[in-house]
Structures are given as structure tokens and as C-alpha cells.
Amino acid sequence: MAIVDGFVAAQRLAAAIAKPGDASPAIERALADYDCDTRRKDNRTVIKKARKYGRWSTTKNRFVSWAMATSVKYLPASAMVGELISGDNSNRKFVAALKEDIGETVRNMEVSLQQ
């Protein structure tokens, strides 16, 4: 999450500074656009899920501990990887919103970085 947050903040600030005119209001607007309710909600969901798994794996309850160990032992790797990747959906939405807001600036920077 932190890498995507840094990327989106840097892209928004770069786009704001690149615009001609007074940079102060543009920078404030870029940072205000960066802070959105959907991102906060998605982050909260990912953090709650991570805390839940952390509690389950460190519990002193014998049954929960056994159930967690057994599920990790017999669960296919694809299911575990799928669960890890599910947290990345919020990052995809956040970058998609950035591309939608800024548009060509992000695409031009991506092309120049790839070359």
C-alpha cells in the first residue's frame, strides 16, 4: 500500500507542478484529490483482514490454533496467493483513479520509464 500511495502522491504533485501558473493552489488541490474516502475505506478493509489473520495465527485458543494450522497445512497455495492478491485490488482502483484524473501525464511518464 505504501509504495502505491507514494507513487500516486508523486504523480499528482508532478502533474500539479507541471501545469503553468501559480503552483500553490494546484499543489493543495493535488493533495486534496489524493486523500479520498474510497482509499481510506479500502485500506481499512485490508488492515482489518490482516489483523484478523494475525489474531488467528497467534491465538492461545487451542481450537482456533489447530484450525488455523490445519487450514494453512492443507489449503492449496493458489488459495493463499489469491487471498494475498485480493488486497491488491484497492491499489489497482487507486492507480486507475489517478490515471482517470490526470490522464496523459501518467501514460507519458510510464512510456518514458519503460524506454
- Encode pLDDT of 30-60 as tens digits: 888 888 888 889 889 889 999 998 999 899 9
Is the predicted pLDDT of residue 97 greater than 80, yes or no?
A: yes
Is the predicted pLDDT of residue 113 greater than 50, yes or no?
A: no
d(CA 108, CA 23): 21
Where are the extended beta strands (E) located within 19-105? none
| pTM across the whole model | 0.68
d(CA 17, CA 3): 21
